[in-house]
């Protein structure tokens, strides 16, 4: 009987050891992906600036419950940036920010929370996380020589 009890205790010890090793692997994987602390639901305030040469600028403000999440390759379909792909971008540093129903940007992010600026033909975005619960960024340059649109965005995490 003592032999069976020894096997049972040994078996339980092995199960606990395997479980704890798996938990450590998951935790280490999350620690490696520094972006996860920035993911979540955000309440965005979007100020849209409409400008036309020779006219006064118009501004419109509205709010949207959006999301900041891990980049997925199909996000490029609705990304506001329409330039050619940058082969130097590391997908392990990219995030997707959906700040309005039809407005989404993809950005690389530094460990300090700053968005890596991106520019192209009639496009630029730049910004940063002020802290883990707040982000501010600018997306602009849309339009032509006579007029266009710029977005000034601030978001706060929804708790």
For the segment 75-86, the average pLDDT, to the nearest whole number, is 78
What pTM, to 2 d.p., does this model score?
A: 0.77
Q: How confident is the model at residue 140 (pLDDT cuts 50, 70, 90)?
A: very high
Q: What is the pLDDT of residues 92-132, one digit of tens each?
A: 999 999 999 989 999 999 999 999 999 888 889 999 999 99
Domain that holds residue 64: 34-157
Instruction: Quote the CA–CA distance of 54 and 132 in Å, as a whole number.
Output: 41
Q: How many domains does the chain have?
A: 2
Kindly report the backbone phi and psi dihedral angles of residue 104, in degrees, each rounded to the nearest multiple of 5, phi listed first: -145, 140
Please check whether residues 24 and 101 belong to one and the same domain: no
Strands, sheet with 58-70, edge to edge from the N-terminal-most edge strand: 103-108, 94-100, 58-70, 40-52, 147-157, 134-143, 123-131, 114-120
Q: Degrees (nearest 5) of the Cα angle 128, 134, 136?
A: 40
CATH of the domain at 54: 2.40.160
Please check whether residues 103 and 26 belong to one and the same domain: no
Please check whether residues 15 and 87 belong to one and the same domain: no
């Amino acid at each position: 009987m003592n032999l069976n009890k020894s096997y049972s205790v040994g078996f339980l010890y092995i199960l606990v050891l395997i479980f704890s090793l798996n938990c450590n692997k998951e935790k280490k994987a999350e620690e490696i992906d520094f972006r996860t602390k920035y993911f979540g639901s955000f309440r965005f305030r979007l100020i849209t600036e409409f400008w036309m040469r020779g006219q006064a600028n118009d501004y419109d403000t509205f709010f949207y419950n959006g999301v900041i999440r891990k980049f997925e390759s199909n996000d490029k379909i609705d990304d506001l940036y329409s330039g050619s792909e940058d082969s130097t971008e590391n997908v392990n540093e990219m995030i997707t920010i959906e700040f309005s129903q039809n407005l989404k940007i993809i950005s690389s992010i530094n460990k300090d929370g700053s968005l890596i600026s991106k520019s192209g033909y009639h496009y630029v975005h730049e910004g940063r996380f002020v802290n883990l619960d707040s982000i501010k960024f600018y997306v602009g340059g849309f339009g032509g020589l006579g007029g266009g649109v710029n977005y000034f965005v601030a978001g706060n995490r929804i708790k």
